[in-house]
């Protein structure tokens, strides 16, 4: 066993929380080791947000070009060139990672160590031949695509969010297992690139976390583009089928198998905690392998924190970033911030996107809160009509007594941006009546938020069938 090398802090994982936290620690005078086994930037930069949103942009541009006649131009048959799509993606991702690398290299007091870290004992991590020790250890190890051990899975070629980003040809028929964020974002993009796409989802209810009206509209948007769904169909096994793949399904209705040229697994995420040697340090995890943390991201052992996706409290880049802010606040700041203060928000980046904040209608109903509800179809929004993008609806819920905004689902043109007006009002704690006094810019989607709020009416009880 080599002698331990002592640092003031060790950060494991250079995803979304790790580098920023390491940078703050060195700014405060700490000597820090930042250990990353793969590429700086983690999932978001390399295999998540950045690359998928560049593909989204290519797919959206093609989609609009195909609608050229509606906008008054002709550009012939629009065909994807996947190599160029991928090259554009690689250029943007590489630039983001290179920028991060040069920033990290320039941080005085930080040593960037490439390798896999694993606990050897409490307060000590082994990285290759080295043994690192520190009184503060921050875990930002993220998640990876789940590859459940289903029969036949090892005998067929499967894609996941990492390998699908390397495609240089469009699959003839892509079968996607899992109809959640990853599945739906890839489904629309690959469909727009020209693939046949079938999504297999075991839940009989499409997007069960979202309200039924929102989920139904998303399904209609994707089906209108030719994405096919097999709901209530659990993928149980895989077989080779010629050059392609056959999935054997457990389902109440429809064919018990589906075949495609390629299969993409979007069946959830597995925390990267199983190869961290957590037992050697006595660090508790939950049944899914997430590190158990308190409101300040502290793990069950003194001197260890877990941030980002590996603590199971977020699942997004912005929540990982917020975890770092909370930890920084507790180490060097006012010690007033906590996970419990976070207002849930996210976007589902299909086109048009869904911007979500706070509670859904189904959650408000389950709480029994006396609430007001308003909805507005995007076809009544001037800017959406002018843009020829009238799919979707906006929906907001407000507390009937305090008029505080409880939540919103904005599915439609710029819904991922417009939702921030409501997030900001919720964060500031102002009632929705404050927004009604604003004079928004014309013509924008946001200018319809006061109109939406004017339509608030008591939430019908029970929910209409």
Ligand X SMILES: NC(=O)c1ccc[n+]([C@@H]2O[C@H](COP(=O)([O-])OP(=O)(O)OC[C@H]3O[C@@H](n4cnc5c(N)ncnc54)[C@H](O)[C@@H]3O)[C@@H](O)[C@H]2O)c1
Please give the annotated binding residues, written as ranges: 53, 178-185, 201, 268, 309
Residues 278-317 that bind ligand X (CB under 6 A): 315-316
The site map against ligand X for 176-215 (x = CB under 6 A) is -xxxxxxx-x--------------xxxx------------
Which of 134, 182, 227, 231: binder of ligand FAD (CB under 6 A)? 182
Enumerate the known binding-site residues for NAD(+). Answer: 178-185, 201, 268
Q: How many residues bind ligand FAD (CB under 6 A)?
A: 35
CA contacts within 13 A on the Cβ side of 213: 20
- Residue 426 makes CB contacts below 8 A (sequence gap 6+) with 343, 357, 358, 404, 405
- Rule CB under 6 A: choose which of 124, 198, 317, 446 binds ligand FAD: 317
The 346-375 contact track toward ligand X, x by CB under 6 A, reads: xxxx--------------------------
Nearer to ligand FAD, 36 or 351 (CB): 36
Distance CA 414, CA 405 (A): 20
Per-position x/- string for 55-94, each x denoting binding to ligand FAD as judged by CB under 6 A, each - no binding? ----------------------------------------
> Among 100-108, 119-127, 262-270, 400-408, which window interacts with ligand X (CB under 6 A)?
262-270
Give the strand pairing for 262-265 and 124-127: unpaired
Residue 330 annotated among the catalytic residues of the structure: no
- The least distance separating ligand FAD from the CB of residue 116, rounded to whole angstroms, comes to 5
Phi, psi angles (nearest 5°) of residue 34: -110, 110
Residues in 121-180 that interact with ligand FAD by CB under 6 A:
140-143, 161
Would you count residue 116 as binding ligand FAD (CB under 6 A)? yes
Any contact of residue 101 with ligand X (CB under 6 A)?
A: no
From the candidates 262, 420, 442, 454, which is the catalytic residue? 442
Complex with ligand FAD: residue 118 or 228, whichever CB lies closer: 118
Place of tokens 């006595």: 282
CB of 159 to ligand X, least distance (A): 12
Q: Using an 8 Å Cβ cutoff, are 397 and 426 in contact?
A: no
Contact flag: residue 344 with ligand X (CB under 6 A)? no
Q: CB of 317: closest distance to ligand X in angstroms?
A: 7
- Please give the size of the binding site for ligand X, defined by CB under 6 A: 24
Cβ distance to ligand X smaller for residue 10 or 184:
184
Asked if residue 416 binds ligand X (CB under 6 A), the reply is no
Signed CA dihedral, 181, 268, 317, 427: sign only:
positive
Does position 409 interact with ligand FAD (CB under 6 A)? The reply is no
Nearer to ligand FAD, 329 or 447 (CB): 329
190, 215, 235, 276: residue in contact with ligand FAD (rule CB under 6 A):
276
Residues of span 417-446 touching ligand X by CB under 6 A: none
Q: Does 352 bind ligand FAD (CB under 6 A)?
A: no
Asked if 440 and 450 touch (Cβ cutoff 8 Å), the reply is: yes
Q: Which residues pair with 199 in a beta bridge?
A: 176, 229
Specify the residue, 25 or 435, whose C-beta has the smaller distance to ligand FAD: 25
Residues 6 or more apart whose CB falls under 8 angstroms from that of 257 comprise 246, 247, 248, 249
Shortest Å distance, C-beta 49 to ligand FAD: 4
52 binds ligand FAD (CB under 6 A): yes
Is 114 or 163 the residue whose CB approaches ligand X more closely? Answer: 163
Number of other CB atoms surrounding residue 292 within 10 Å: 15
Q: Enumerate the known binding-site residues for FAD.
A: 53, 309
Which entry of ligand X, ligand FAD, none binds 16, CB below 5 to 8 A by partner kind? ligand FAD
| CB closer to ligand X, 157 vs 438 | 157
Q: 142 contacts which partner out of ligand FAD, ligand X, none, CB within 5 to 8 A by kind? A: ligand FAD
The footprint of ligand X (CB under 6 A) covers 177-183, 185, 200-203, 234-235, 266-269, 315-316, 346-349
The footprint of ligand FAD (CB under 6 A) covers 12-17, 35-38, 42-44, 48-49, 52, 116-117, 140-143, 161, 182, 272, 276, 308-310, 315-318, 320, 349
Residue positions annotated with a catalytic role: 442
């Amino acid at each position: 066993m080599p002698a331990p090398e002592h640092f003031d802090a060790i950060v494991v994982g250079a995803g979304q929380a790790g580098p920023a936290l390491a940078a703050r620690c060195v700014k405060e005078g700490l000597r820090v080791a930042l250990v990353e086994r793969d590429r700086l930037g983690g999932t978001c930069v390399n295999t998540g947000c950045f690359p998928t949103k560049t593909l989204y942009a290519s797919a959206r541009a093609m989609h609009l070009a195909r609608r050229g006649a509606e906008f008054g131009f002709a550009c012939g048959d629009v065909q994807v060139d996947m190599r160029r799509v991928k090259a554009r993606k690689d250029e943007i991702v590489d630039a983001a990672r290179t920028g991060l690398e040069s920033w990290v290299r320039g941080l005085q007091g930080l040593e960037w160590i490439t390798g896999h870290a694993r606990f050897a004992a409490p307060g000590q991590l082994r990285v290759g031949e080295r043994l690192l020790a520190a009184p503060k250890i921050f875990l930002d190890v993220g998640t990876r695509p789940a590859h459940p051990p289903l029969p036949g899975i090892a005998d067929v070629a499967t894609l996941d969010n990492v390998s699908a980003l390397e495609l240089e040809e469009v699959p003839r028929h892509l079968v996607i297992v899992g109809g959640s964020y990853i599945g739906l974002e890839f489904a629309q993009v690959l469909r727009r690139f020209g693939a046949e796409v079938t999504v297999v989802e075991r839940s009989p209810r499409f997007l069960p976390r979202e309200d039924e009206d929102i989920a139904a509209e998303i399904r209609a948007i994707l089906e209108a583009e030719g994405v096919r769904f097999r709901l209530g169909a659990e993928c149980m096994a895989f077989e080779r089928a010629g050059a392609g793949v056959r999935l054997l399904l457990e389902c109440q209705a429809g064919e018990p198998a589906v075949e495609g040229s390629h299969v993409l697994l979007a069946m959830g995420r597995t925390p990267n905690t199983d190869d961290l040697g957590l037992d050697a340090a006595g660090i508790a995890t939950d049944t899914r392998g997430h590190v158990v943390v308190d409101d300040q991201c502290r793990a069950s052992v003194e001197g260890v924190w877990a941030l980002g996706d590996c603590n199971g409290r977020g699942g997004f880049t912005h929540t990982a970033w917020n975890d770092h802010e909370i930890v920084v606040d507790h180490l060097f700041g006012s010690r007033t911030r906590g996970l419990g203060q976070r207002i849930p928000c996210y976007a589902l980046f299909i086109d048009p996107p869904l911007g979500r904040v706070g509670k859904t209608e189904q959650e408000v109903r389950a709480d029994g809160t006396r609430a007001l509800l308003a909805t507005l179809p995007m076809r009544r929004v001037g800017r959406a009509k002018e843009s020829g993008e009238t799919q979707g609806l906006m929906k907001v819920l407000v507390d009937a007594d305090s008029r505080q905004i409880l939540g919103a689902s904005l599915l439609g043109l710029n819904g991922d941006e417009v939702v921030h007006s409501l997030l900001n009002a919720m964060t500031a704690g102002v009632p929705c009546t404050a927004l009604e006094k604003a004079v928004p810019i014309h013509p924008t989607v946001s200018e319809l938020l006061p109109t939406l709020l004017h339509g608030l009416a008591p939430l019908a009880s029970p929910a209409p069938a």
